Structure 1
Amino acid sequence: MSCPLQQKVANQLQVCTFKQLKQIHAIIVTSSLHQNPQIRLKFLRRSTEFGDMDYPSLIFSQMGGFLIEDITLWNAMIRGYAYNGPQRNSISMFDEMPHRGLKPNKFTYPYVLNSCTRLGLFRLGQKMHCQIIKTGFQLVLSAAYALFSFYADTCDSSDMGFPKKEMLNNARRTLDGICGVPAELCNRFISGCVKFGDVECAREFFDQMSERDIVSWNSMISGYAKTGDVANARDLFMQMPEKNVVSWTTMIKAYAAAGDLQTARKIFEMMPEKNLVSWNCMISSYAQNKQFQDALRLFEHMRKQGVVADGFTFVSALSACSHLNALDFGRMVHSCITDWGNAAVIVGTALVEMYANCGDIDKAFTIFFKTGNKDVFCFNVMIKSLAVHGRVEDAVKIFYLMQQRGLKPNDFTFTSVLFACSHGGLVEEGQNIFHSMDRQFRVSPKLEHYGCLVDLLCRRGQLEEALVLLKEMPFKPDVAIWGALLGGCKLRGDLKLAESITSCNADKLESNESGVYVTVSNIHASAGQWLEAFNAREKMEEQNMWKTTGISNLVINGDTDL
């Protein structure tokens, strides 16, 4: 029968702070409670639960003779290192145990496997698996769970360099022979198979399960939805003994991904209960499939139903406004945003893009500077928007501001800033930025970056430099680059060079782009060569190429129509 002090100390160890733990340590030492195995273990284990292993290590080293016979103390330390680090110490202690005459038990292996997973020591983890089999612990649920997690987590690590199929098979084998495998493990295996595209393996395992919960069904439906197998997803959905909001929303995603928004909307309307995720799924599906008017109508319906939108809702609605140039509707959406929450920078970026695309670049600029924790994507949108609106110097300034904030430009950043330099005639600035891509930022220029620089040089009449760049670049010029060169010829009135380009590259100019032929026709027309101009136009018509007619979107009484 335990004494009152022992019981009190045991109870306090469960809830004490680190400061109180040190006070309890003094009580244990002065009252000889350290002789009690249960108190020793509870005290050591509690000391490892504060995130730092220095103090537990000191205590462990002071336990002397108790360490020779008590494996539970070793397990407590191995567990502490596995969770708090350094994980190498966990493995080192495991290796030291045989030298102390101690044999690992079913509680030891899970912690060591956890350390192997975190350190990426796949081969060592496999050796642990062999030891677990030799000692007969593979049928113990805690060991099997640790093995399963080891293989599943290794499979999740894309940089491990091991075949995903092999990892999934190993994870599957760890469940064999175990009676009453928890649904959590089964569901995790199904999710793992689905994640790596092996839906057949997931279905085979699903069919063999003695008991399935709603997570099992939803995981399988999600797997079929991700692979575009709507038929199997629908069949499982119809077989489900019970459905929840996740089940219904998954089917909406499946049909939307297949482009069948009509059926997706029917399922949405049939849902017995909708949550915010359901509304977001349907609205975003409309936006992603370019049915922007339907997205905005559903957003308005959502507001009338009293459903409080979140950042994801606003991003989808603002994207639709941006594509429809629906400035008034976009302003209304903006007025609804009272709490930006965790998606602040995403919502801020969507607002910048919406205002810019709808023509209010000043408002976009204001929103940009008010948005906190701006990421690279937010800067990219602002740079591109300023460039499109002709504010090229501001675009370049934002490009340099981005670097001052410690953000590294990517290839989209350079495309936007080089576009700005091209349309602003900033030749020297554009050349410096182009050459900084590889030298300073280790970003390899792509065809579009060369295209921007060629266009920049041609707009300033520097055709010779553009031709030199053309020869040096590691890509074959596309129709846009040839068009830029012909545009430069037109600007400088260099009919001879234009004829050379068109004659020497006739095969490369055979494309579906009407712009090249229009440029050639205009060059001839400006030189009074009307027959040649007519022939260029005639060739374009023979290939059924026509300039696309421009269209505008109008917003009438809050609704959008072409």
Structure 2
Amino acid sequence: MKTQGPKSLLALIETCASLNQLKQIHAKTIISGLSYNHFILTQIANSFLFPQSLNYATRILVRTQEPSIFIYNSMIKAYSQSETPFVALSMYNNMRVRENAVGDQFTYPFVLKACASELAVEKGREVHGVVVRIGFDSDRFLCSSLLNFYAVCGKIESARRVFDEFKAKDVVFWNAMIMGYARNGMALEACEVFREIVKVGEVAPNEGAVLALISACTVSKNLKLGREIHGYVRKEVTFGLSVKLGAAMVDLYAKCGCLDYAKRVFEGMPEKNSVVWNSLISGYSLNGFSREAIGLFRDMCFWDVKPDRYTISGLLSACAQTGAINLGNWVRKFAEKNGLWDEFIGTSLVDLYAKCGSIEAAREVFDQMDKKTVATWNTILSGYASNGQAGSAIELFDEMRKSGAIPDSITFLSILHACAHAGLVEKGKQYFDSMVKNDKITPKVEHYGCMVDLLGRAGLLKEARELIERMDIEPNVIVWGSLFNACSIHGDIEVGEWAADHIFNLEAMDGGSYVLLANMYAAAGRFDRVKAVRQAMVDASFCKLPGCSMIEIGDVVHEFLVADKTHPKSEEIYSVLDELSDKLKTATGSMRLPALAGEHLESS
């Protein structure tokens, strides 16, 4: 490059077409002894400020005398939208201290965005104070940024205060408040704002706000509010039922168990992408309709909609719930053939094999996985626990520690479950104490339930009762049920009655608990109490829910209920059962159990 004068270098800076060109020009200015950092930075800010150039721009900024507010704003904005938003806060602090600059109305929205990303509540409050002092608290964009910051950080009362104090609300402001409530799981409050905005009529919710509302209803399982939002979408909104909204509505209805509604929305959509198909497939899986999920998957392939990892995970989940291991193997082959494989699919496959009792196959998949999430470790640990292999679960837990993976509350739930099934009382106590003291995990009601089960199975009913009485949280029906079951096994009527009273108070329609209580009295020979329990069941119209079993033959899952005669081969099945029953009586002799037969209770 020939020698360039100052004016020609400036012209080159203003007209350069790429970052590499700009770097060459920058090098020439340094060789020429010219300080054009300010111009270089301005050109980067105008045309080349993207993640790859941030470090380069930052190095120049450090060497630039009195950079303009425009340059600071550009850098703060870029970093607030990057993977390192804390650098934006550092830039802001540097601007305030080094340059003694206040910033303008374009500075603070992105500072607040960085505070929200970092959950820097105190820094955000400090920025709020600055905004008020310099008189920018009437700027709509800045105040909506404040509202969003507080909502993201979970300070919803502060967000509402900003909302109420700002008078000139536009659609962005209203939507920000709706999304703030929705993000914090406050579906009712979000819908109140939604109703208010509809009543005012000056502005209308946008698609983002409606999606947030539907999401809040889905999380809270609030079907009534969800239907209200659906009705509004069908009648009022100008953007119609888009693919995103359709997928959200299908997901809402499916997770609330209303599969007919979910399918109706699905079939009414003119355009369906993989997200929409996945929502319905997942819905069928969650509700135990694996056959329908598989059928929907085949329809998906027929219509040339490309499955993704979420599709495969949903299908494997459906197979795991129904024990359809052959179908699961077919799904696995499909995924491998089409290059659909990651740690999420691997985890789902481990879950499938573990729930189907093929724990060796589950471990084989686990060992072959290059990348394992905490969920992957939890799944195989839970598999070992459910399959009665406490020793393997404990060994694997130690291996998890050594690998650097950090156990979470679900990890400890699995290991406590394993200890309970194996009767490892002292080991279980050690894990529970370690979870609280070393891992700083606050026990949830499920952990207490496992500990009560562990102590109860070992006959330590007094210790189990004392643990319940020391709980910091209210025991639920699972905790009381664990104690009650243990009392039934060990014949402790006093503690059993105490547990039963709490169960009936929490879950009045639990007929199964009445059956256990009656069985416990029968085993103790207290038939007067048996009669009283049976009469209470008759008076309240209680009945024990029939048991259900499923078995996979070929690629078909067969489901059976107690006294079920709907199966096309029921006569053959009952004939074989009668033959087996006769052989069993011959081999062992007729035995009468000291408990009430389920069918006697059901017929009462």
TM-score, normalising length: structure 1: 0.75
| Cα deviation digits, residues 108-146 of structure 1 (max 9, x gap) | 555666666665434433344335647xx95xxxx6434
Q: Given that residues 323 and 357 in structure 1 are in contact (C-alpha distance below 8 angstroms), is that contact kept between their aligned partners in structure 2?
A: yes
Does 2:151 match 1:155? Answer: yes
Distance 1:557 1:8 in 2: 73
Q: Given that residues 425 and 456 in structure 1 are in contact (C-alpha distance below 8 angstroms), is that contact kept between their aligned partners in structure 2?
A: yes
Match of 2:588 in 1: none
Among 333, 336, 360, the residue aligned to 1:335: 333
Q: Given that residues 353 and 381 in structure 1 are in contact (C-alpha distance below 8 angstroms), is that contact kept between their aligned partners in structure 2?
A: yes
Q: 1:39 to 1:50 in 2, by over 3 A?
A: closer
1:51 match: secondary structure = helix
1:409 match: secondary structure = coil
Does 2:519 match 1:518? Answer: yes
Among 535, 553, 556, the residue aligned to 1:542: 535
Q: 1:327 to 1:103 in 2, by over 3 A?
A: closer
Match of 1:230 in 2: 227
Does 2:206 match 1:201? Answer: no
Q: Given that residues 249 and 262 in structure 2 are in contact (C-alpha distance below 8 angstroms), is that contact kept between their aligned partners in structure 1?
A: yes
Distance 1:426 1:103 in 2: 64
Counterpart of 2:551, as a letter, is: L
Distance 1:123 1:218 in 2: 26
Q: 1:123 to 1:346 in 2, by over 3 A?
A: same
Match of 2:391 in 1: 393
Q: Given that residues 454 and 481 in structure 1 are in contact (C-alpha distance below 8 angstroms), is that contact kept between their aligned partners in structure 2?
A: yes
RMSD (Å) for aligned C-alpha atoms: 4.3
Instruction: Extract unaligned runs of 5+ from structure 1.
Output: 62-66, 177-182, 490-497, 525-531
- Any residues of structure 2 matched to 1:469-480 within 5 Å, and which? 470-471=465-466, 474-475=470-471, 478-480=480-482
| Cα deviation digits, residues 299-354 of structure 1 (max 9, x gap) | 23223333221121122222221221111111111112138989833322221221
Distance 1:114 1:218 in 2: 18
Match of 1:180 in 2: none
Q: Given that residues 290 and 322 in structure 2 are in contact (C-alpha distance below 8 angstroms), is that contact kept between their aligned partners in structure 1?
A: yes
- Any residues of structure 2 matched to 1:435-474 within 5 Å, and which? 435-445=433-443, 449=447, 452-453=450-451, 455-456=453-454, 463=459, 467-468=462-463, 470-471=465-466, 474=470
Distance 1:132 1:363 in 2: 66
Distance 1:374 1:153 in 2: 33
Q: 1:299 to 1:26 in 2, by over 3 A?
A: same
Q: 1:550 to 1:238 in 2, by over 3 A?
A: same
Distance 1:368 1:90 in 2: 46
Match of 2:420 in 1: 422
Q: Given that residues 159 and 177 in structure 2 are in contact (C-alpha distance below 8 angstroms), is that contact kept between their aligned partners in structure 1?
A: no
Does 2:376 match 1:378? Answer: yes
- Any residues of structure 2 matched to 1:255-294 within 5 Å, and which? 255-257=253-255, 259-294=257-292
Match of 1:487 in 2: 489
Match of 1:51 in 2: 55
Match of 1:351 in 2: 349
Q: Given that residues 248 and 268 in structure 1 are in contact (C-alpha distance below 8 angstroms), is that contact kept between their aligned partners in structure 2?
A: yes
Distance 1:41 1:504 in 2: 76
Distance 1:452 1:256 in 2: 30
Distance 2:298 2:534 in 1: 45
Distance 1:272 1:367 in 2: 39
Counterpart of 1:349, as a letter, is: T
Distance 1:123 1:204 in 2: 28
Q: 1:167 to 1:535 in 2, by over 3 A?
A: same
Q: Given that residues 78 and 94 in structure 1 are in contact (C-alpha distance below 8 angstroms), is that contact kept between their aligned partners in structure 2?
A: no
Match of 1:130 in 2: 132
Larger CA deviation: 229-238 vs 316-325: 229-238
Deviation at residue 391 of structure 1 after TM alignment: 1.6
TM-score, normalising length: structure 2: 0.70
Distance 1:433 1:335 in 2: 39
Distance 2:498 2:215 in 1: 51
Larger CA deviation: 243-252 vs 544-553: 544-553
Deviation at residue 450 of structure 1 after TM alignment: 5.2
Among 525, 550, 553, the residue aligned to 2:550: 553
Does 2:15 match 1:11? Answer: yes
Counterpart of 1:422, as a letter, is: A
Distance 1:444 1:191 in 2: 29
Larger CA deviation: 118-127 vs 354-363: 118-127
Q: 1:126 to 1:541 in 2, by over 3 A?
A: same
Q: Given that residues 464 and 483 in structure 2 are in contact (C-alpha distance below 8 angstroms), is that contact kept between their aligned partners in structure 1?
A: no
Counterpart of 1:168, as a letter, is: F
1:432 match: secondary structure = helix
Deviation at residue 285 of structure 1 after TM alignment: 2.1
Q: Given that residues 113 and 128 in structure 1 are in contact (C-alpha distance below 8 angstroms), is that contact kept between their aligned partners in structure 2?
A: no
Distance 1:233 1:252 in 2: 11
Q: Given that residues 321 and 355 in structure 2 are in contact (C-alpha distance below 8 angstroms), is that contact kept between their aligned partners in structure 1?
A: yes
| Cα deviation digits, residues 466-506 of structure 1 (max 9, x gap) | 534543551477242243245346xxxxxxxx466568888
Deviation at residue 271 of structure 1 after TM alignment: 1.8
Match of 2:318 in 1: 320
Deviation at residue 404 of structure 1 after TM alignment: 1.8
Deviation at residue 38 of structure 1 after TM alignment: 5.3
Match of 1:527 in 2: none
Q: Given that residues 109 and 128 in structure 1 are in contact (C-alpha distance below 8 angstroms), is that contact kept between their aligned partners in structure 2?
A: no
Distance 1:468 1:245 in 2: 55
| Cα deviation digits, residues 24-46 of structure 1 (max 9, x gap) | 4415x54x574x98567447987
Distance 1:223 1:47 in 2: 35
Counterpart of 1:518, as a letter, is: N
Deviation at residue 226 of structure 1 after TM alignment: 4.1
Q: 1:478 to 1:257 in 2, by over 3 A?
A: closer
1:554 match: secondary structure = strand
Distance 2:383 2:424 in 1: 17
Q: 1:409 to 1:107 in 2, by over 3 A?
A: closer
Q: 1:558 to 1:488 in 2, by over 3 A?
A: same
Distance 2:177 2:449 in 1: 48
- Any residues of structure 2 matched to 1:15-30 within 5 Å, and which? 15-16=19-20, 20=24, 22-26=26-30, 29-30=32-33
Q: Given that residues 380 and 412 in structure 1 are in contact (C-alpha distance below 8 angstroms), is that contact kept between their aligned partners in structure 2?
A: yes
Deviation at residue 82 of structure 1 after TM alignment: 6.3
Distance 2:229 2:201 in 1: 18
Counterpart of 1:521, as a letter, is: A
Distance 1:56 1:457 in 2: 66
1:408 match: secondary structure = coil
Deviation at residue 280 of structure 1 after TM alignment: 0.8
1:309 match: secondary structure = coil
Distance 2:126 2:56 in 1: 25
Aligned residue pair count: 512
Distance 2:12 2:496 in 1: 94
